[in-house]
Amino acid sequence: MEEKLSFEYAPAPESRALVTIKPKYGHFIGGKFVAGSKHFPTINPATEEVLSQISLAGKTDVDAAVKAARKAYTITWSKMSGKERGKYLFRIARIMQEHSREFAVLETLDNGKPIRESRDVDIPLAAAHFFYHAGWADKLEYAGLGTTPKAHGVAGQIIPWNFPLLMLAWKVAPALAAGNTVVLKPAETTSLTALLFAEVCQQAELPAGVVNIVTGDGSTGALIVNHPGIDKIAFTGSTEVGKIIARAVAPTNKSVTLELGGKAANIIFEDAAIDESIEGIVNGIFFNQGHVCCAGSRLILQESVAEEVIEKLKNRMAKIRVGDPMDKNTDLGAINSNDQLLKIRELSAAGDTEGAQRWSAPCELPGKGFWFAPTIFTGVTQAHRIAREEIFGPVLSVLTFRTPQEAIDKANNTPFGLSAGIWSEKGSKVLWASQQLRAGVIWTNTFNKFDPTSPFGGYKESGWGREGGRHGLSAYLKGVSHE
Ligand code: NDP
């Protein structure tokens, strides 16, 4: 009798014994943790367990944080040499590495992303941003950004929930390297790793007030944006809030960078290596549950290979392991919040209503927590909402094309312009396509690759300015623009 081979994985749970979560947190202002007055719960989205109570910063807290940042800028940080600032950044990077496992576990518990991703992507990249910018701190004069580069002063930084610690690193590392002090607000649902980072600042003996962290909701973010003591705003999040911020700072002298939404085209030409592109499609849309601004959420397939690609993609999607984010085998974790789950469901329902065909990978979703199976929609047209709006979840919209020019026209037919992917074995076609695409980041025969040395940012409604590399550094220096 023929025996059926089984490739079931035994559970491999990461231990949470390494992290100590306090029952309640305050804000980190002037180098110390200070108690907040109002609190709200932060939960584990995979289980709905309440992890801790987070403080909601109001006007007094934000005032205190801005005051501490100004004092630190005037008295200490702006007087310090770049070489000395760099030492602190190197120290922070090394301490983050030493605590990497603790950071990874905490991120996964608070965010719902698989431990494999927080351990192998988020935390190493966050440390890499501090290492990279530490190297710039004493070389600003040689960065091609003017002979006497000068910091803005106090930077207000507002970050989202999809890569909590990594987005903090993207913001704090260049700000400090360029000589600014900061007031940062993490997202409401994912404050814990930012608060652990505050402890790292204490361990690194960073001068008091150089980094201040206030937790809260959108109202706290608005208080930072509108505070007269802030010189520069850096925001990552939705295009909707980005527009509110742009309007708020327009009549002021504040400098601003905005990293907003995306609806990236991942284009597969008929001469692509199909099996490799399947991996690229999966990584493009299912990495981090699709909670990625540069996710390859529109698959643009050449008609001659469409059937083959879709069949292979479905086979591959059926093997995606969905479930406990703390299990080292898990590929797709929990949706970050109930609100986000509702948004994914709403847009997917619009896909059904508007006539696209839905297919979801057969998988068992846990009873508690927020979950959405990996899903593709075929038969999508450019007018469908699922082809135009950011779903920010594990949902892929598939469109097809016949000629290369049609692929480009479809790819560029979006209000966004953050990223794109091109799959082809032909170099000339890749170069031609990348010159036609209106996207800030273009990957060829790969997707979702990040590096601190590489500028990241978008066209159109995807935002203003760049983060990372020399271009990102320029956003934290006065009078330098590298759009
Ligand atoms: P938001 O843009 O609302 O949140 C991003 C950050 O801004 C959070 O820290 C948020 O605080 C804060 N914030 C909210 N309102 C204001 C305001 N008026 N002024 C200043 N700061 C504010 O994104 P959401 O988290 O609500 O997600 C909504 C949608 O945005 C998602 O479904 C997704 O489509 C998109 N998104 C895109 C991201 C990207 O990187 N492109 C990242 C995150 C979301 P709080 O968390 O407390 O609300």
Q: What is the pLDDT of residues 316-365, one digit of tens each?
A: 999 999 999 999 999 999 999 999 999 999 999 999 999 999 999 999 99
> Which tokens hold the place of 15?
């231990």
- Per-residue pLDDT at 9: 83
**Confidence class for position 483, pLDDT limits 50, 70, 90:** very low
Answer yes or no: do 210 and 297 share one domain: no
Q: What is the mean pLDDT of the chain?
A: 96
* Cα 239 to ligand 1 centroid, rounded to whole Å: 8
List 14, 117, 293, 467, catalytic entry:
293
In the chain, % of residues over pLDDT 70: 98
Answer yes or no: do 47 and 27 share one domain: yes
The DSSP symbol for 269 reads: -
Q: Is 4 among the domain residues?
A: no
List 117, 188, 259, 389, catalytic entry:
259
User: Which tens digits make up the pLDDT trace of 127-157?
Assistant: 999 999 999 999 999 999 988 999 999 999 9
**Confidence class for position 479, pLDDT limits 50, 70, 90:** confident
Contacts of 352 (CB under 8 A, 6+ apart): 358
Does the C-beta of 343 come closer than 6 Å to ligand 1?
yes
Answer yes or no: do 89 and 192 share one domain: yes
Task: Say which CATH number the domain at 67 has.
Answer: 3.40.605.10
Q: Is 42 among the domain residues?
A: yes
- Per-residue pLDDT at 2: 54
d(CA 372, CA 356): 18
- Per-residue pLDDT at 368: 97
**Confidence class for position 8, pLDDT limits 50, 70, 90:** confident
Answer yes or no: do 226 and 282 share one domain: no
Q: Check whether 415 has a pLDDT greater than 70.
A: yes
d(CA 19, CA 231): 36
Query: Which residue among 113, 158, 247 has the greatest number of ligand 1 atoms within 8 angstroms of its CB, and so is best to mutate?
Result: 158
Answer yes or no: do 245 and 129 share one domain: yes
Answer yes or no: do 399 and 466 share one domain: no
Q: Check whether 47 has a pLDDT greater than 80.
A: yes
Q: Is 317 among the domain residues?
A: yes
Answer yes or no: do 378 and 477 share one domain: no
Q: Check whether 5 has a pLDDT greater than 70.
A: no
Q: Is 2 among the domain residues?
A: no
- Tell me if 356 sits within 8 A of 378, measured CB to CB: yes
- Residue 23's domain comprises 16-260+461-482
Answer yes or no: do 206 and 250 share one domain: yes
- The mean pLDDT value for 11-39 works out to 96
Q: Check whether 190 has a pLDDT greater than 90.
A: yes
Answer yes or no: do 280 and 376 share one domain: yes
Task: Say which CATH number the domain at 286 has.
Answer: 3.40.309.10
Does the C-beta of 260 come closer than 6 Å to ligand 1?
yes
Answer yes or no: do 104 and 164 share one domain: yes
Q: Is 3 among the domain residues?
A: no
User: Which tens digits make up the pLDDT trace of 74-117?
Assistant: 999 999 999 999 999 999 999 999 999 999 999 999 999 999 99
- Look up 364 and say whether it is catalytic: no
Answer yes or no: do 249 and 290 share one domain: no
Does the C-beta of 207 come closer than 6 Å to ligand 1?
no
- Per-residue pLDDT at 3: 63
Q: Check whether 480 has a pLDDT greater than 80.
A: no
- Per-residue pLDDT at 481: 57
Answer yes or no: do 317 and 374 share one domain: yes
Residue labelled with tokens 């690194």: 204
Q: Is 67 among the domain residues?
A: yes
Q: Is 251 among the domain residues?
A: yes
Q: Is 297 among the domain residues?
A: yes
Which residues is 302 bridged to in the sheet? Answer: 401
- Look up 259 and say whether it is catalytic: yes
Nearest to 419 by CA among 280, 311, 310: 280
Residue 242 Cα: closest atom of ligand 1: 2
**For helices 274-286 and 303-317, angle between their N-to-C axes, nearest 10 degrees:** 60
Does the C-beta of 345 come closer than 6 Å to ligand 1?
no
Q: How many domains does the chain have?
A: 2
User: Which tens digits make up the pLDDT trace of 200-209?
Assistant: 999 999 999 9
- Tell me if 14 sits within 8 A of 106, measured CB to CB: no
Hey, whose CA ends up nearest to atom 12 of ligand 1? 218
